[in-house]
Structure 1
Amino acid sequence: MIDYSPLWMTMKEKHISQYYLLQHGVDNRTLNSLKKNKNITLLTLEKLCRLLDCTPNDVVAFSENKEP
């Protein structure tokens, strides 16, 4: 399972808002996908890492789905 909670923590630590991302080329649709833990492209991941000056581990985490 994809989890973007590290992104929101990184943004908070670096005092970067969603508005900043919107101003620098991350569109509303992508932000919506991030909020819903949906897939994004590697180009988007690279853009986020450049804007936040961080690594992919600071943006996304992966976990295994636990089935009952």
Structure 2
Amino acid sequence: MISYEPLWKTMKEKGVTTYTLIKKYDVQSKTVYNLKHNKHVTTATLERLCEILECTPNEILEFTEYIK
């Protein structure tokens, strides 16, 4: 499973809020919702987040063990 927990840490370190993502960078609120709930986002979204935050994908997501 994918966790976006690193994203929230990176955003905090860089001083970027979800409001900033939505208003300044035109990230859709549905996309922010999906990130908050560890749901699917496109690779284009991940690339855009990397550009906005000037970081790598490792600073946005991590793979966690799938528990059945």
Bin the TM-score by the shorter chain: over 0.9
User: How much has 1:18 moved relative to structure 2?
Assistant: 0.8
User: How much has 1:64 moved relative to structure 2?
Assistant: 1.9
- Segments ≥4 residues shifted beyond 2 Å: none
What residue ranges of structure 1 are gaps of 5+ in the alignment? Answer: none
Query: Which residue number in structure 1 is paired with residue 2 of structure 2?
Result: 2
**What is the root-mean-square deviation of aligned Cα atoms in Å?**
0.8
- The CA deviation string for residues 26-61 of structure 1, in whole angstroms up to 9 with x for no partner, is 110000000100010000000000000000000000
Matched residue count:
67
Q: TM-score, normalised by structure 1?
A: 0.93
Q: Does 1:58 align with 2:63?
A: no
Q: TM-score, normalised by structure 2?
A: 0.93
